[in-house]
Each structure stands twice: as C-alpha cells, then as structure tokens.
Amino acid sequence: MSSVSETVLELDLGALHHNYHFLRSKLNPDCKMLAVVKANGYGGDATTVALELQELGVDYLAVAYVNEGLFLRDAGVTLPILVLHPQPVNFELMVAKCLEPSIYSERLLEAFSRFASDQKLVAYPVHLKINTGLNRLGFDPQQATRAADLVNKSEFLSLRSAFTHLAASEDAAERDFTLGQLAAFDEVLPKLRALGDQKFFAHATNTSGILNYPQAHYDLVRSGIGLYGYANAPELDRELKPVMRLKTVISQIHNLQPGDSIGYNRGHVVASPMKMATLPIGHADGLPRALGKGVGTVIINGKQAPIVGNVCMDMIMVDVSEIDCQEGDEVEVFGTIQSAEDLAKKANTISYELLTAVGGRIKRVVLR
C-alpha cells in the first residue's frame, strides 16, 4: 500500500534532529553553529527547517539574498540571520527586518556605510568576508584590515564576524590548498583583532570543513548540506540521514511490444516485450533531462526501474518489466534507498543541484 497518492517531497524533521546533533557532537561546547537555509532550505522548505533549527538551539542562520531572509522573518524566525550576498537596492528592507549583511567589497562597504549614516543606525552588525582562494566574493587579506578599520571607526556599524569560505574542504587531494587558505585567514585575524576593542567571531568551515578540519572551527561553524543529510563523502554520508525524500506514484502501466516507441522524439524504441510505467514528475519538477534514456533510475518496491526515453516536462516513463507493481504504487525518486547523491552522480552532477531544483509545485509534506 502506497503512503503517497501524488508527487510529494517529504521533510523528515527527525532526520534533521539527528544531523544537527551529529554535527554539534563534533564541536567544542562553546563553538557556535550557523545553519545555512538558502535556496528554500536546499530545496525543501526554508521556513519549516529554520523554525525547527531555532527550536533545536542553532545560533545563527544564513541566506543568500535579502528576500530569503524576509520570508523567514515573516514566518516568525527571530534568530540572527546573515545575508551572504546582499545588494544595495535591498538595504532598506534588510535593515527593517534586522538582517545582517556580509560586506565583501569596498563598493558595498561604502554604500552600506552611507546608508547607515543616512539612517542614523547605531552599531549595526556587519560581517566581513575575506577571500582566501575561492575567488568569488570577499576582500583580499591585505584589503581586509582597511575594511575592518573603517567599520571599527564608524559609530553606525559594528563588526559582528570575519569569515572566509573554503574551496575544497571535501577533497583530500586539495588538503594543502585548504591549509593554505586557513593559514591566510589565521594571518589576517590578529591584525583585525588589533584594530579596536569590538569583539567579533571568526568562522571558516562548511560541512566538510567541520568534519575534516576540526582545528579550524574557530568561534563558529557553518553547515548547509550536512544538516540535510549529505557530507560529500560516502563514509560520512552513512552517519547522516536524508531530510528530503522525493516520492511519486505510478499513474499508468503499458505493455509494449518490439518496435513500439516511448515518449517525445521516440526516445526509446522497444526491443523486446516491456512493461512500462508512467510517473507524474518531470523536468519542470527539477528532474534533469540528463537522467533520461536509461541513465537514471527510480525505486519501486525496493527495485531499481530505469528511466526510458526522454524526461518530459511533467512525466517520466520507467521500465518495470522485472518489478511486481501496479498503478498507484509508491515510487522513490530519491530518499533513503536511493540517495540524492546516488541519483545526482548518474546525471554527472551533485546532490546540491538535484535538491535545490525540486520544483515549487511539488507538495511538501512535513514528517514530525
């Protein structure tokens, strides 16, 4: 008997609890934890996840953009929220909802300093992003001292944290590069702390950094994908539980004969008698076309069913010739049997992309 009757994304809060406590167990008691809930909680539901983490005792949240923080505030989240990539056009909304900006460039620092002065803000918290090798956003280490000095001298701003982002903390082959990033961060931190009496906390590690570089936990760690059940390493993935389970059902079963074709552009031509099932999920729901034509699989009654033909906008077709199943049976796209990481590898991508692509029209079901 199927537990679902349509395509749903289950959010297992028990798994979230497990992952949170597992990651917390790797930290010193006085080390804070920041939970990353950007991209709608990595494709799940940001407000549900954020409110649950707030109850669990997480210290900080992070989002990518201001509008993501607005949704959390409107949902009742009261934790401090770091905005990792703010834009000047949103400063007014950001401050109205007490969101804290990452300051990553001289242009942004000058713009927010002017805004803070015009609005007569008092010691508004900002976070200084330092680029040590990822080369996306951030001050070069030699620029960071000047930026921090400007913040310290401003009556309108206060330095809440200084942080960097590791580029390859999951990759053992890049350990020397990661240690180089940490060394660059360690070199600049004393210079920042010497500038004034404002205390700030330092942070550098993402999920893989938490697990692989315990010496670099500093005052706070940031976890995103780990909270959702993935650690970028098979041996560590086994310690975590997937929070999100994408499920659907069999809409119809066809018995096809040699020469019959399946889907658009006759994406698969049947070579021998086949039992085929049609499922109500497609690339509009985040299932990439790269999984079509036998590349990807789903799980039906514990067995793998290959996707045949092209992935359609709203449907896929799978080969169930060797599976005892019927219309209405439950299908796992990814979850506890086939993880998002397993399925992503088949499409030559990563779990992050598969998770965050789950479409908004898919119903979210919270399992408490």
Residues designated as active site: 38, 264
Angle at 25 between CA 23 and CA 29, to 5 degrees: 115
**Shortest CA distance to 103 belongs to which of 163, 29, 180?**
163
Phi, psi at residue 324, to the nearest 5°?
-80, 105
Q: Is the Cβ–Cβ distance between 7 and 287 less than 8 Å?
A: no
Q: Is the Cβ–Cβ distance between 141 and 112 less than 8 Å?
A: no
Put the strands of the sheet holding 303-308 in their side by side order: 252-256, 274-279, 316-319, 303-308, 297-300, 330-334, 244-249, 8-12, 363-367
By three-state DSSP, how is residue 49 classified?
Answer: helix
- Cα→Cα distances 234→177, 230, 237, 238, Å: 22, 9, 5, 6
Phi, psi at residue 330, to the nearest 5°?
-75, 145
Q: Is the Cβ–Cβ distance between 163 and 192 less than 8 Å?
A: no
- Token representation of residue 269: 């031509």
The secondary structure element, H or E, covering residue 152 is helix 141-153
Q: CA-to-CA distance for 31 and 27, rounded, in angstroms?
A: 6
Which residue has 């709608």 as its token pair?
40
Q: Which conformational region is residue 335 in: left (phi greater than 0), alpha (psi within -120 to 50 degrees), or beta?
A: left
By three-state DSSP, how is residue 239 classified?
Answer: coil
